[in-house]
Amino acid sequence: MAPSVSELKFHAGAIGRFIPALVRSGIVTHEGGIKAAASTLPVLARYRFTTARELEQGYLTCPERLALIDDDGTLTYRQLRNQAQAFARFLRHLHLPEIRLGVMARNGRGIITPLGAKGYAGAAIYLLNVGSSPEQLSGCIEENGINVLVIDDEFIDRLDPALAEKLTVVIAHSSGAERGAYAGVPSLSDIVKRGTPNWIDPATEVLPSFPQHGPIVLMSSGTTGIPKGIMRPEPTLPVVLASIVDNIPWRADQKVQMTASIFHTWGWACINIALGLRNTVVTRRVFDARAALDDIARYRLDGLASSPVFFKRMVEADPDGEFDTSSLRFIASAGHAMTPQIVEETNGRFGPILCNVYGSTELALASTASMEEVAKDPTIGGKIASGTKLRILDEEGREVPRGTVGEIYLTNSTALIGYTNPKIKLHTIDGLISIGDLGYIDEQDYLHVVGRADDMIIVGGENVHPQSVTEVLEAMPGIHEVHAGGVEDDNTFQRIAVWAVRTGDAAGKAITQDSIREFVRAKLADHSVPRDVHFLDKLPRNATGKVVPRLLKG
């Protein structure tokens, strides 16, 4: 079906914002001369906006610039590109009918190199959650037909030996630990190193000039059962990125720390943006707050791409301002909700440089908010991203008036194209896909998100959003961290419950269940007052920092 006139105008307007945004970011003026600039369109035609494209263009424009600083050392753009191509040749050398590449690796070259190889070889790639259980890992491999698995050796004991016999297994990161039955499995470092037994000579395995680009598949959190495989295209022209550049001072030739997990949507987006801007990326496999602060001070980093729980930990780890973080120009936050308390604490420590990016695993970028907008109103999700159609709909699928809460639906060029399991259906209305959150748009066209649609509960006929209780209690003296959710109640059908971690000082020791209830009662309506209050030593979180409700006791 041919696009309508309104659709053509919509896409033209989005592209009109995208090109100037590239100029503002500095990427156009940092392309390394006439020859490199002339290569931009051919490289884009071959690799689209994939990690391979960013590595190839980096190789052509600034080959000796540092691309990556990770736990295993440093790599220039030339080295990272060459390693991605070497691994791509290895994949092609397997002569599989179709390369279905699974990766279960923490941040670093162990996941970035396969991402680049995916684009060079022409493959589909499946980014597996490092928190997956043995059963979930087996389920993902079998359900998605994965035939090559790149895995950190710390997770190798989760791999079923019988299933492994059907795969080509590669160790992404070697910790030096005993591998048992997998002692003979090749490592990624061996495969990409010239002269080693698994190295494939470029003369014997030529990469395709125009690879067949399979989807990139990211997995849902998988709190129960097999995680959902979310298929996403790598777009030819990702116009939604104009909103990132417009609202965050993320520019070419910067040094950026990434604590966002690359196997997650936000981390995957960040690594491609950073490489696209020819940044130097600093990352570690395991987050440590003081190490992250030391990296900022040591390398004089310009930016931090992270999630709220991680920079909250950084604030707590440096109460006296021991580390010099004055080089930071921005903190880009996504992955889960910011709260007014986190915004206040973060801006208080690092300065008013916290920006917000809102989206989801299925739908990527929905809106962005600049540091000025976040500082003024910590509750906003921001302005709707360029190239994005977004509507707030009621239960009957009708658009609601401004200021009215409804379910958020949207679509753009980076939206999922479906699930790998065809039995899982998309929840769509008029071509827009539900993001699963509730929110509203105010009179100034800012999006506000009030919580997950399936988290909202009804207490005595009143709608209650647990996130509002969490935000209130985060400001209570003596609360270190807190989570609110719904539980069953015989009288009102549902009630709010709270799981709290107290601080170790006098304020924390003074907190009781009743004092928490009274604190909420003073700020919210009676139906938001928690029935149950549980005290924990720590909240159970997954690798991306989100609280895992099924692991909460009480």
**Domain extents in the chain:** 1-30+238-315+328-392+411-419+445-452, 34-221, 457-551
CA distances from 75 to 107, 202, 400, 541 (A): 14, 20, 51, 31
CATH homologous superfamily of 34-221 equals ANL, N-terminal domain (3.40.50.12780)
Q: Cα dihedral sign for 187, 94, 54, 305?
A: negative
User: What is the rounded CA–CA span in Å between residue 339 and residue 35?
Assistant: 47
Contact 283, 112 (CB under 8 A): no
Give the mean pLDDT of the chain: 87
Residue type, 4: S
- What does DSSP assign to residue 219? E
User: What is the rounded CA–CA span in Å between residue 98 and residue 108?
Assistant: 26
Three-state DSSP at 476 gives: coil
Domains 34-221 and 457-551 share a fold: no
pLDDT in tens, the chain (554 residues): 344 444 434 444 444 555 555 555 555 544 455 555 566 778 877 888 889 999 999 999 999 999 999 999 999 999 999 999 999 999 999 999 999 999 999 999 999 999 999 999 999 999 999 988 899 999 999 999 999 999 999 999 999 999 999 999 999 999 877 777 788 899 999 999 988 888 998 889 999 999 988 899 998 765 557 888 999 877 666 666 777 888 999 999 999 999 999 999 899 999 999 999 999 999 999 999 999 999 999 999 999 999 988 998 999 999 999 999 999 999 999 877 788 899 999 999 999 999 999 988 887 788 999 999 999 998 889 999 888 899 999 989 999 999 999 999 998 877 888 899 888 888 889 989 998 899 999 999 999 998 888 777 778 667 788 888 998 999 999 999 999 988 887 776 788 999 999 999 999 999 999 999 999 998 888 888 999 999 999 999 877 778 888 888 76
Neighbours of 348 (CB within 10 A): 10
Give the pLDDT score at 8. 39
CATH homologous superfamily of 457-551 equals ANL, C-terminal domain (3.30.300.30)
CA distances from 396 to 251, 368, 429, 438 (A): 43, 28, 10, 14
Q: Would you tell me which CATH number, out of the four given (3.40.1010.20, 3.40.50.300, 3.40.50.12780, 3.20.20.70), belongs to the domain 1-30+238-315+328-392+411-419+445-452?
A: 3.40.50.12780
Contact 195, 189 (CB under 8 A): no
Burial degree of 437 (CB within 10 A; 0-12, 13-18, 19+):
buried
Helix axes 109-121, 77-93, angle to 10 degrees: 60
Dihedrals phi, psi of 359, to nearest 5 degrees: -170, -155
Q: Where are the extended beta strands (E) located within 41-198? A: 66-70, 73-76, 100-104, 124-127, 148-151, 168-171
Contact 287, 293 (CB under 8 A): no
E strand or H helix at 257: strand 255-258
